[in-house]
Structure formats: structure tokens, C-alpha cells
Amino acid sequence: MRMKCGVVLLFVLLSWVSVGQQAIDSLEQQLSKATSDEEKVTLINQLVDLYDSAPEAELYLKSMLDIGEKSGGVLKGDTYRSAYLYYLKTGQDKKALDYLKDAISWDRKNEHEELYYSYELYGKWFQKSLLLDSAIYYFQLAEEGFLKNKDYKSLVEILNREGILLKNVQSYGEALQKYYQAYDIAKQQNLPKNLASTCVNIGVVFKKQGQLEDAMEYYMKAEEIYQTEDNYIGLANVYNNIGNIHRIRDELDLALVYYKKAIKNRELGGSEKTLSYSYNNIALVYKEQAIYDSTLYYLALSEKYKIKLEEQASLSSTYLNFADTYSLLNDSVNFNKYYDLAMSYANEFEQYGIIEELKIIFSKYAANQGNYQEAYEFLVTVIQQMDTMSSKEQEVLSQVLQAQYNDKQKQELILELEASLEKQKKQAEQLRLDETNLWLMVIVLSGVFILLIIALVLVFRSFNRLKQGAKEYATINQELRETRIGAEEKEMMIKEIHHRVKNNLQVVKSLIRLQRDATGDESCEILTDFENRVSSIALVHESLHGSVDLSKVDVEDYYQKLIQDLIDVYSVNQEISCNVNVEKLSFGLDTLIPLGLLTNEIVSNALKHAFQDRSRGHVEVSIKQLNEDDYLLEIADDGVGISGDYLASNTLGLELIDTLVGQLDGTKELVVNNGTKYIIKFKNQDKIK
């Protein structure tokens, strides 16, 4: 039997070689009879593809370059591009890039339309090298050329490439602009395949933003087109994305149905390339359902296809899922095996996101094993390398820190109990309670003090970085204006600074929230107030990060978010309505931060004190411009009215209100009549400076 199989395989191999040789012989015969340079170049290109990595391929390539050199014209640029693609495929990146630069130089010098295809190839090169700014720049040059030459198919494809790059750097608004442009052109020019792929890309952005209904709408449009075209590979991609939406919604049975439909269509389309991803997704669904045998089975299938198709770079994610599953099964041998494999591949391909997720999984596993100190120390190394913590990572960190705290507390209580028993057995229980209360008070006070120091350091560093960045940008501002790419880099850098400041403040909020959960009622209220003050500052930087004009924030949008956040925090079991009436205004940092803090203090006081023993209440907030220099802020509630005793108490909140009014060069008037109303006139501090 084995001999028969071997004979069959040998026969198939010889047949394949024979067919390949026949094709080569046929092309070489045609080449010997070809008369025009264009025909010769076309035939030689096919021979290079057939010979692949054999020495004959490079020999034919050199003869093609000679033809292009002698003929000149457009053909010369075409041969340079062919050489680029050959050397790129054979791993000779430096030589490949040299030929692409030659193609660009030649086509630009002779004003050939093919220059824009070279720009597209150059953009792909930068994309592969993860130099995304340069990739976008050259894709935009190609976009301008395709539009000029009315090459609509290439134009739609390059717009989609730009959209994918912008999506990858989380510039979702700009990505959607590119996708919508591609959508309109594909629809007008009747390019169904391009229209369907654009719909899928739009759906992916909506999914990333959590707009699942909008994402589903565009996936369904793509499905309709692919069904008309009998495009099984396209349908498989759509069904895989629909499965992802159902998995996000926790509709796991529906997710499985669509993942399996994706696999069926990939098989109908004769493509194994993305089978591994569908198998991986099915495994994740079974893991969420705690059906671990099926999870491991489908992960093994995913691994099999990735190895078969030499997709080494994506093996790290499969091994990560293996490790996470075995951690849930408490299988330390297999957990360590797949953890090491995943870390090895992630380090080899510099996949820093995978590395961070692996460390988080390891920390969670160590905590589940009771190794809280090891888990905590491991997590700290992750956080030090990250600009921001996702909600998932914050949750894990909170669990580990709480576990470490509980473990330490437990050990100290045991030691204290033993000492008490030796001295006086009859009073052991009372002594333990007294000592515990004292120790907890020390922890609370120490924690509050440490948190305040950390908060001040983080905020101080963030503002210092912002100031330093502003000075550096000022010195190179003229140079950045001279080039298109420099201006784009400047905008991205400024947005990144606001993003980092906002993220640092979010870390402070997470630390405050963690400390608040371990403290008493009085300290909890103090920390909640402090957290809200940090939130009002973070919201300014978040708004600037998403703003078109990086020096100003839309005040109306900022106030809507600020007031709603405060109502969500303080109006538990109450119906508090709010009317925010803000004129179309925009302020910078120097005005909006003290103005936001001032509003935070007044509205917080109203929500905490004005509606006591009441089930509902109403707050009015308005801002309008009085003249060129002066503005009016009014905040009113229909509560019980602020008392004289409270005004005489001179609390931190009241002191902050007076300080912030002074910082805005303003005046304050307080009216108590069927509620409390603050009338504050102030000046735009950004305009003053």
C-alpha cells in the first residue's frame, strides 16, 4: 500500500514538473519570435514568475532590464517596477527598493502616468515597514494621480488602503471619510467588488467604535453584492465579521453559526488562507461558553493551518489563546508551554501588544494560584511600558492589588492574634478588632496621602511635557509649514500629547477609585470629589485630542459630557434633569480647565446637598458672551437653597470656587430664592494671553 502511494505521488510530481516545463518551453518559443519590445517584456515577466527562485529567473530579469534601458520611455519604468517586485519576493529588500526609486525618478522626470503606480508601491513599502505617516503620504500622491487620470478602480483601492492605515492608528473619523469617498466612486462607476470590500471596511470602523447596528448595515450591503457576484471569499469575510458582532453582543450561538458559514464559503472559494482565523474565532466562543475541549480542538485546527501556510507571525495569538485556556483549566504544564511559545513568537516579530497581553494573562494566572506578590510585580512591569490601561487591564490590576492587600491584612491579623493570646486570652477578640481598626485607619490615611502625591506628580509632569512640547514645536514650526508631511506630523504629535495627558489622568482616576473602594464613607466622599475634579481636566484633553482645531474646545459638547458625568455619579436613586444652554463658543486650556473645575464644584454641591430627601430635581447651566471680552456663567437648581451655616463652614469646595473665579478675572453673585443660583462673570484667559 505504501509503495502504491509513493508511486502515485511520484507520478503527480513528475506530471506537475512536466506541465511547468511545457509552459516554459512554449513561452521561450514565443519569445524567440517576438518582434516588439513590449511583447518581449510581457513574455519575460511570465518566465520570471515560472522560474520563481531558480537562477534562470534572475537571468531573464536582467535581459528584460536591458530591453527597458535601450527602449527608454514608459517601458523602462515598467522594467524597474518588475525588478522591484522580483527582488521583494526573493527577500532582497535593499536591491528591490533601489529599483523602485529608479522607477519613480524615471517616471517623474518624463511625466509618465505610471508614476502613480510607483507611488502606490512605495506606500506599501512604508506600510510594511510600519512607517505609517510616510505610507499615507505616498498613498495620497497616488490618489491624486489616479483621480487625475480617471483610473477609478485604482482610486477606490488606494482610498481603502488609506482608510485602513488611519483606522490602525485609531483615526476613525478620517478613515470613514476615505471609505465614504471610495464608496461613492465605486457606486457611481459600477465597481461591485470594490463597493463590497469598501462596505466591509466601513463596517469594521463602526464595530471598532461600538456602533454595532451601523456596522451590521454595511456588512449586509456587502453580503448582497457578494451573493450576486458568487464571491465566496468575500462572503466568508462578511460572515466572519458578522460573527464577531454577535460575539461582542454575547450572542454566542449566533456567532458560531456565522463563523461556520465563513468556513463553508472559504472552502467553496478554494481558499485556505484565512481558515485559521475562523477556527480561532470559534475557539474563542467555546472558551466563553466554558466548553474547553472544543476550545482546544479548534485552536489546534487554527495552529495547523497557520503552520501549513507559514503564517508564523500570527501564531503568537493562537498560542496566547492556548495559554489562557490552560490557565482556566489550572493546567500549569501546558500553560507554561504555550506561554513560552507565544512569548517567543511575539518577541521575534516585535508584537508588543501580544507581549503586554501575555504578561497580563500571566499575572492573572499567578494571582489565581495565590502568588499575589509575583502577579503584582509582573503587572507593574506591564503598566510601566504602557501609555494607557484598557478597562480589562484595570480590572485585572484591581483584582491583584485587592488580593495582595487582603493577603497582607490576613497575615498581620494572625500575628496580632497570637501575641494577644499570649498576653491575655480573655481579651483577644477585642484587641484584634481594636488593632485592626487602627491599622485600617493608618492604611487609609497613608493611601490618601500617597495618591495625592502621585496625582500631583503625574499632572505636573504632564503639563511640563505639554509646555516643553509647545516650545519645541515653536522652533520647528516654520519648517513644518513648508512641507505637507511636516504639518501632518505636527498635528499628530500635538494630538498625542493631549492623548497622553488624558491617559495619565485616567490612571490617576483608576488609582483614586481603587483606594476609594477600600476606604470608609467619609474618605469615600472626599475621593469621589477628587476623582471628579481630575475627570473635568481629563475631559478637556480628551476634547482637544478629538478636536479639529487643536487650540480650542467646543464648550457646548464639553459641558454636556461634564454635567452628565456628574449626574451619573451623584444622583443615585434620584431623577435629576438638566438643561445645558451654551452658545457656540470655544475656549482653550487656560480658560476651560478653571471654568470646568468651577462648574464641577458648583454642580457637585447642588447634587449632594440641594435635593436631600427628594426623588427628583432640576439643574440649569448656561454660558453666553456679553461683549467682546466678557462672558456670563449661570448655574441654578430648584433645591432647598444653600444655608448660611454651610456658607460659613469655609469648606475646600467653597474656597476652590472663590479661587477659580479669581483665576478667571471674574465676579461672583449668589442668589438664594426657591433654590440656589450662581451668577459669575468672567473673561477669556486665552484671549488675554
**pLDDT number for residue 380:** 61
Contact 189, 211 (CB under 8 A): no
Contact 356, 389 (CB under 8 A): no
Q: Kindly tell me the burial class for residue 566, based on how many C-beta atoms sit within 10 Å of its own C-beta (0-12, 13-18, 19 or more).
A: buried
Q: Is the pLDDT of residue 509 over 70?
A: no
Q: Is the pLDDT of residue 627 over 60?
A: yes
Least confident of 50-64, 114-128, 134-148, 188-202: 50-64
Give this prediction's pTM. Answer: 0.50
Q: How many CA atoms lie within 13 A of 211 on its CB side?
A: 12
Residue whose C-alpha is closest to residue 636's, from 539, 546, 537, 563: 563
Q: How does residue 384 score in pLDDT terms, banded at 50, 70 and 90?
A: low
What is the Cα–Cα distance from 295 to 283, expressed in whole angstroms?
4
Instruction: Look up cell 490617576; give the residue.
Output: 508
Right CATH number for 113-229 from 1.10.230.10, 3.40.50.720, 1.25.40.10, 3.50.30.10? 1.25.40.10
Mean residue pLDDT of the chain comes to: 78
**pLDDT number for residue 63:** 84
**pLDDT number for residue 388:** 47
Contact 71, 39 (CB under 8 A): no
End-to-end CA distance of the chain: 90
Average pLDDT on 602-626 reads 87
What is the Cα–Cα distance from 15 to 9, expressed in whole angstroms?
10
- Greater model confidence, 412 or 143: 143
Residue by residue, DSSP assigns 387-431 as S---HHHHHHHHHHHHHHHHHHHHHHHHHHHHHHHHH-GGGHHHH
CATH code given to domain 551-689: 3.30.565.10
Q: With pLDDT > 70 as the criterion, what percentage of the chain qualifies?
A: 71
Domain ranges of the chain: 30-112, 113-229, 551-689
Residue-wise pLDDT for 548-596, tens only, equals 454 577 788 888 888 888 887 776 678 888 999 998 888 887 888 888 8
**pLDDT number for residue 430:** 59
**pLDDT number for residue 453:** 72
Long-range CB contact pairs, 294-297, < 8 A, 24+: 295/321, 295/325, 296/322, 296/325
Report phi then psi at 572, rounded to 5.
-75, 130
The 3-class SS string of 546-598 reads HCCCCCCEEHHHHHHHHHHHHHHHHCCCCEEEEEEEECCCEECHHHHHHHHHH
**pLDDT number for residue 372:** 66
The DSSP H or E segment spanning 50 is helix 37-51
Residue by residue, DSSP assigns 265-300 as HHHHTT--TTHHHHHHHHHHHHHHTT-HHHHHHHHH
**pLDDT number for residue 1:** 42
Residue-wise pLDDT for 311-363, tens only, equals 888 899 999 999 999 999 989 999 999 999 999 998 988 887 788 888 888 87
**pLDDT number for residue 65:** 84
How many distinct helices (H) and strands (E) make up the chain? 28, 7
Nearest-10 crossing angle of helices 115-128, 132-149: 160
**pLDDT number for residue 377:** 64
Instruction: Look up cell 509649514; give the residue.
Output: 481
Q: Is the pLDDT of residue 58 over 90?
A: no
Least confident of 18-32, 60-74, 492-506: 492-506
**pLDDT number for residue 383:** 55
The DSSP H or E segment spanning 620 is strand 616-625
What is the Cα–Cα distance from 339 to 358, expressed in whole angstroms?
7
Q: Is the pLDDT of residue 495 over 70?
A: no
Residue whose C-alpha is closest to residue 282's, from 300, 268, 265, 266: 300
Residue-wise pLDDT for 149-173, tens only, equals 899 999 999 999 999 888 887 888 9
- Across the strands, what pairs with 577? 618
Q: Is the pLDDT of residue 413 over 50?
A: no
Q: Is the pLDDT of residue 116 over 70?
A: yes
- Greater model confidence, 444 or 184: 184
